[in-house]
Structure formats: C-alpha cells, structure tokens
Amino acid sequence: MNFFKSCQSRNAADGQSSRAEKRELQTQRIMRAATACFVRSGFQGASIHDICREAEMSPGALYRYFPSKEAIIDAIVAEARKNDVEILTKMASCEDVVEGIVEAFYNHLRLTEETGLRPLFVEIRAEAMRNTAVRNTCRKNEDNVRASFRLYLEEAWRDGRIRPIVSLDAVVTVLMAVGEGLIMADLPGRELSAADIQKALRAKISAVVRPVEASHGTSSLCLDGTN
C-alpha cells in the first residue's frame, strides 16, 4: 500500500525530483561535502560545522539525514571503495595475468590520485585500526578484493597460464600489500615515471605468479641505467 503510493507519485519521464529522489540527492550532497572536509582535516579534525559550511546547509538540516557524525563516516567508508569493483572486473577480463594485475594496480593508483581521495583512504586505514565498525566495513571490502584476486589466479592456474610460487593465499596477501603500499607511499613528490613503476611492478608480479609462457614476461624486461 504505502509502497505503491510512494512509487506512483512521480514516475513518468519527469525531470522533477520526487520526495525520495530529493532526499537521496541531499544525502549525496552531504557525503560529498563531508568527503572534502575529511580529506582536508581527517575524521576527527573535521567538524560538523565544517561539513555544513561545505554543504551549504544548517546543522539541523544535516541531522535530518544522518543521526550522527559517526554515521556519515560509516557511509563514506562503505562507499569509498566502490570503484574497486569495476577495476577488478576489468582485470578479470584480461587473459594475461601479470598484465591484468599490473593494470589493476595502476588504475587503482591513478584513480585514487585523480579523485584526490588518497588522504581519505589512508585516514580510513588509520580509523580501521581502532574503530570496530570501520574495521568491519574495510574487512568486508578487502574480502571481496581478495576473493576476486584469488578467483582470477585460480582460474589462470587451472588453465595452466600461471604457475604460482607459493600458496595462493600468500600470493594474494603480498599482492594486496603492494597495492595498499603504493597508495600509502609518498609518491607524488618523487618524480618517478609511471612506466618505470609499472615495469618494476610487472617484474615483481610475474615473479610471484610465474607465467608459464614467458612470452614477454622474463625475456623482454631490459636492464636499465642507474637513474
């Protein structure tokens, strides 16, 4: 009943926003503002008033959409890694395992940089160390990524495309450490070419995963100058 009522209200090719749509829009507006503030000052450093100023909204209005600051943080943490999905499905469609992983890492790194979300990701990691709710959300995200990696490697292994060097779980663990580390590492000031980093990554990953037909894996990687 209520369900039908709320659905029938405005559903045609209607540019205007229904009640629920507007609510969704405002919620997103708050989350976008909060994200900007958290990037700038961290979870504890950013105040509700900061977020309100950024969202051009009063505290009273904001609290109509989120019951607490914690809830805003939780929502943002839950949404933070939604881009991982497409990066991982793109990876899964790549036959060459080494190249697939390298590109996934690189896309992950590039997207993090482009969206300016790097400080947020690190902040989330820090918060996950003490806040149980955040930790659980992170863990869930991580489990998904982990499973994707594992499935990807497992299939390639069954097809005889790769020959893993240790247990798949160990491989995945170190792989994910590399991915996280690239985000944490203080690259921006370092002035290192993307190609160099990709090359180093490629070598590293092919080592732990060992493609059987080393068509370009081992042989074409050239030894380079000092700088």
Partner DNA sequence: CAAGTGAGAGCGAACGATCATTCGCAATGA
Partner DNA sequence: TCATTGCGAATGATCGTTCGCTCTCACTTG
Query: What is the binding site for DNA (CB under 7 A)?
Result: 5-6, 9-10, 16, 18-19, 22-23, 26, 46-50, 56-61, 63-65, 67-70
- Pick the closer one to DNA by CB: 51 or 209: 51
The encoded tokens of residue 98 equal: 């080494």
- Residue for token digits 């009640």? 19
The answer to the question of residue 137 lying near a copy of itself (CB under 8 A) is: no
Distance CA 197, CA 138 (A): 27
Q: Residue length, the chain?
A: 227
The answer to the question of residue 84 lying near a copy of itself (CB under 8 A) is: no
Least Cβ distance, residue 95 to a copy of itself (angstroms): 21
CB 62 within 8 A of CB 30: yes
The answer to the question of residue 140 lying near a copy of itself (CB under 8 A) is: no
The angle at the Cα of 33, spanning 27 to 38, to the nearest 5 degrees, equals 120
- Pick the closer one to a copy of itself by CB: 56 or 224: 224
The answer to the question of residue 99 lying near a copy of itself (CB under 8 A) is: no
- Pick the closer one to DNA by CB: 31 or 162: 31
CB 126 within 8 A of CB 134: no
In this structure, how many other beta carbons lie within 10 angstroms of the beta carbon of residue 164? 17
Least Cβ distance, residue 124 to DNA (angstroms): 17
Least Cβ distance, residue 17 to DNA (angstroms): 8
Distance CA 27, CA 36 (A): 14
The encoded tokens of residue 174 equal: 């170190």
Amino acid at 203: A
Q: Indicate which of DNA, a copy of itself, none lies near residue 47 (CB less than 5 to 8 Å, by partner kind).
A: DNA
CB 46 within 8 A of CB 40: yes
The answer to the question of residue 207 lying near a copy of itself (CB under 8 A) is: yes
Which residues of the chain form contacts with a copy of itself (CB under 8 A)?
40-42, 44-45, 118-119, 122-123, 125-130, 135, 138-139, 142, 154, 163-171, 173-174, 176-182, 184-187, 189-190, 192-193, 196-197, 199-201, 203-208, 221, 223-227
